[in-house]
Amino acid sequence: MKTSKITFHLRLDKLNRDSGEAPIYGRITVNCKRANFSINRWVKPDRWKQTNKLQNARKQEDRELNFYIESIRSRIKEIDRVLIDANIPITAEKIKNSFSGNEKKSKTVVEVFEWHNKKFKELVIISENAEGTLDRYKQVLKHIKEFIKFQYKKSDFYIVELEYSFITNFDHYLRTVKKCNNNTTVKYVRNFRKTIKLAVDEGWLKYDLFAKYKGKVKEKDREYLTPEEIDLIQNKDISIARLNVIRDIFLFSIYTGYAFDNVKKLRYDDIKKHGDF
């Protein structure tokens, strides 16, 4: 990854005729592209030249000014290192904006997901969202964290650096590493998409990365229990009270389902017989 170069120069075109001083500017260069910025300090051109840009300064005020310049140089190098550690592409303009405080701090994938889950939990508390759905979001976040470590060898990922390949790689990771089937994989990715869409709505991300994602849930043919199988479940001797309750709820769901089907059938037979309601 390319690193930056920082130099300092005078803007003689902005020379103050009254004081005879010119402003000092910093110049950040990355890959032959430059970004200039004022350090808000002035010096006379002859002093700048005679002291080799104040590096050989002897006067106290010049030494203090040189110390200030070197502190800026160190700060630029620090920003450079932070960007490299975060695996963020370095540009001269990005470093300049970060130094001047004009760059808006990017949210991370984990940060956005945790923010979403916090908001979702608040709605669970007031019974507007389901606890089970929140558990699924927590599971997706767990997979996301593990995927980032597995695929990118780091703990988090800036959302402004996301590309479509992040989505396809996550899909592939769920299928191959986590051994999720198609429907589970698609549902997890869709849950992740909701957080990305929120990031777009909040202005943290410019566009929806999922526009090209074509994951589809496959319909499955589900077999119904036979009357014999239902009898086996009903007559099964279960010693654990909790499982007994679960069995009763399950049987209740089965019988009420059958009852509903029978009501529909009787209703249909009645209409067919009498020709009205």
Domain assignment present for residue 267? The answer is: yes
My answer on whether 56 and 83 are in the same domain is yes
Q: What confidence tens digit (pLDDT) does each residue in 234-249 have? A: 888 888 888 888 888 8
Phi-psi region of 54 (alpha: psi -120 to 50; beta: other; left: phi over 0): left
How many domains does the structure of the chain reveal?
A: 3
In a domain, 220, yes or no: no
Say if residues 75 and 99 touch (Cβ distance below 8 Å): yes
SS3 at position 166: helix
| Pair 208, 251 in one domain | no
231 contacts: CB under 8 Å, gap ≥ 6: none
What whole-number distance in Å separates Cα of residue 234 and Cα of residue 145?
A: 43
234 assigned to some structural domain: yes
Q: Are residues 194 and 249 in the same domain?
A: no
Whether residues 67 and 134 fall in one domain: no
Specify if 33 maps to a domain: yes
Write down which residue in 100, 131, 159 finishes a domain. 100
| Residue 10 in this model has a pLDDT that exceeds 80 | yes
Where in the sequence is the domain holding 154, given as residue range(s)?
A: 109-212
29 or 162, greater pLDDT: 29
40-97 residue pLDDT tens: 999 888 888 877 777 777 788 878 888 898 999 999 998 888 877 766 778 888 888 8
Domain boundary among 181, 212, 243: 212
CATH value at residue 164: 1.10.150
- Clarify whether residues 73 and 150 are in a common domain: no
